[in-house]
Amino acid sequence: MLGQKLVLLFSKSENTTVIATGKGPVRIDFPNVSYLDVDLANRGEVFVAFMKAAPTHIIHAAAITQVDLCEQDNEMCWRNNVIASENLIEVAEELDANFQYISTDFVFDGTAGPYKETDQPNPINFYGKSKHVVEQLLINSQLNYAIVRTVLVYGVGQNLSRSNLVLWVKNKLENHEPIRVVNDQWRSPTFVDDLATGCKLILEKKASGIFHIAGKEYLTPYAIALKTAEIFSLDSNLISPTDASAFKEIGTRPLKTGFDISKSVKELAYEPVSLEQGLILVKEQLQS
């Protein structure tokens, strides 16, 4: 979803050549965008493709983000999240390319959110640990890098392999299915278009370091679900609040994450939409 938004955003920029990568044949044919089939966890494939393309800027948005899957298969998670990132960092150093890495609120333990960039990470699941390892690799690299942490991203895209909270709620309620949504976790829901814009601002301003790019509000998934029902004119009576203990999840989720985005607002002039505005835009995009 983020990759699609980045491709669309940068392909509209003058004097910019955009190359998208993915594993397997291209699923969406964007105009004015080249595509490379690359297994990022394969060092040889990465070096052949990237040395030939010779990018000046790399935005690394690929990862296995399913928390339970990462907890069940540590090796698969490590290969796709850490080894792939090591390969990209190495080739970026070879090319002296600017590097942006998309990270997560799950590098934190959720005991003291919302978090600032200077707060100390302490991941409590394997997915979060894999992302934190890569953050440390970048901090210790020779690259001009930016770490972009985000949280609970929602929005629309073409042929998405995964849904997100907003689309899940919408689809369930449209089918008149009752749902239970946690009310004891806190997040800063992030409209994917805002996240893409934040990445573009970092690149344009040649900013480096860690940036929290998220929404401006601090809400529970239950509150987000209620607002989704309101904007899409669906039956909120189908939504019941519950707590995290009601779900048997393999990977532990941090309870209170969310971000303080004041650094990004001040240094990047980043200005995200409200959840209500974001949901209205999602509705418009689905209808277009």
- Tens-digit pLDDT profile for the chain (288 aa)? 999 999 999 999 888 999 999 999 998 889 889 999 999 999 999 999 999 999 999 999 999 999 999 999 999 999 999 999 999 999 999 999 999 999 999 999 999 999 999 999 999 999 999 999 999 999 999 999 999 999 999 999 998 878 899 999 999 999 999 999 999 999 999 999 999 999 999 999 999 999 999 999 999 999 999 999 999 999 999 999 999 888 888 999 999 999 999 999 999 999 999 999 999 999 999 998
Separation of alpha carbons 58 and 53, rounded Å: 11
Q: In what helix (H) or strand (E) does residue 16 lie, and over which residues does it extend?
A: none
Q: Work out whether the CA dihedral 40, 41, 42, 47 comes out positive or negative.
A: positive
pLDDT of residue 151: 98
pLDDT of residue 121: 98
Ramachandran category for residue 138: left, alpha or beta (phi over 0 → left; psi -120 to 50 → alpha): alpha
Tokens of 229: 């029902």
List of domains in the chain: 2-287 (3.40.50.720)
Helix (H, G, I), strand (E, B) or coil at 182: strand
Separation of alpha carbons 91 and 49, rounded Å: 10
Nearest to 183 by CA among 243, 101, 264, 112: 243
